Amino acid sequence: MVTRRRLLLGAGGLVAAGGVGVLGWELAPRSVKARLGLTADPYVPDAPEGQTRLETVQSEALGADVDLFTAVPAGHGDGAGLPVVVILHGSSASAAALQGYGLGRFLTAAVEQGASPFVLAGTDDGPAGWVPDESGADPQAMVLDELPGWLSARGFDAGRRALWGWSRGGYGALRLVEAAPGWSRAAALFSPAVVDDDVVFDDLDALASLPLGVWCGDDDPYSPQVHDLVDALPVAPEVVSFGPGEHTRNYWNDHTLEAFGWLASQL
């Protein structure tokens, strides 16, 4: 069986050897195309979606109705009894946008590649992202206190859970696990939006026992601060990935299967 990884590695050899034919270019690694400013649409695996739902739930912590997105890998019915990876999306996204990113297809593809099955679940954030704001809206309380009940009511194993967030969501995941150590079994952080002298650096000891994975592109504007974060952690993350890429969906999609495989191993 020829996997996508083998194709890309083969393409790298073609490019390095000067094979510039149409086939060689079509198979060239995304990093090569990105450096030339010719990156195609974000990668989405050719895998079926399982059951996906977008529902509305009432959050007392936010004082508003919010959307709740859930996705189950194909072949696993309604996901009863499966653990959950909670999605904290970036500031330009929403729960309603998650299906459009192909996350259900990524989930099935990860399971087809050997990952233990799990469910994806994500809600809308608050006015200030994933941290409390002056109005009293508290998305942290929503995730910590309300979301497990919503997930249990849908038959998922909400006691086995991990976090995955990108950009502002990756930052929100850091703040959440600092506020509630032990709530999550692991956290995968894509390009967390950390800035210099951020308050997130004040309580990194709370992360000492949490398995972390960190991914960030070299050309991401947050890359220097993410390097600082990794260096400041009391225990090195289990996964650290820096390489070609920007603060874009293209970069995040290129690493989603890797992150899903790692998260599944933590659940």
Give start and end residues of each alpha helix (H) in 84-158: 103-112, 139-141, 147-153
- What pLDDT does residue 135 have? 87
pLDDT tens digits, 148-163: 999 999 999 999 999 9
- What pLDDT does residue 23 have? 42
212, 187 in Cβ contact below 8 A? Answer: yes
Phi and psi dihedrals of 27, rounded to 5?
-95, 0
* 226's tokens: 């993410």
Query: Which of 75, 104, 106, 84 has the alpha carbon at shortest distance from 185?
Result: 84
Given this structure, which CATH class describes domain 48-266?
A: alpha beta
197, 172 in Cβ contact below 8 A? Answer: no
CA distances from 124 to 41, 54, 62 (A): 25, 11, 10
User: Residue 64: what residue type?
Assistant: A
Q: Give the chain's residues under pLDDT 70.
A: 1-39
DSSP annotation of 159? T
Helix (H) or strand (E) holding 253: helix 249-266
pLDDT tens digits, 61-84: 999 999 999 999 999 999 999 999
- What pLDDT does residue 2 have? 34
132, 94 in Cβ contact below 8 A? Answer: no
CA angle 181, 88, 141 (to 5 degrees): 50
Domain ranges of the chain: 1-40, 48-266
CB atoms within 10 A of CB 89: 26
- What pLDDT does residue 87 have? 98
* 254's tokens: 């290129």
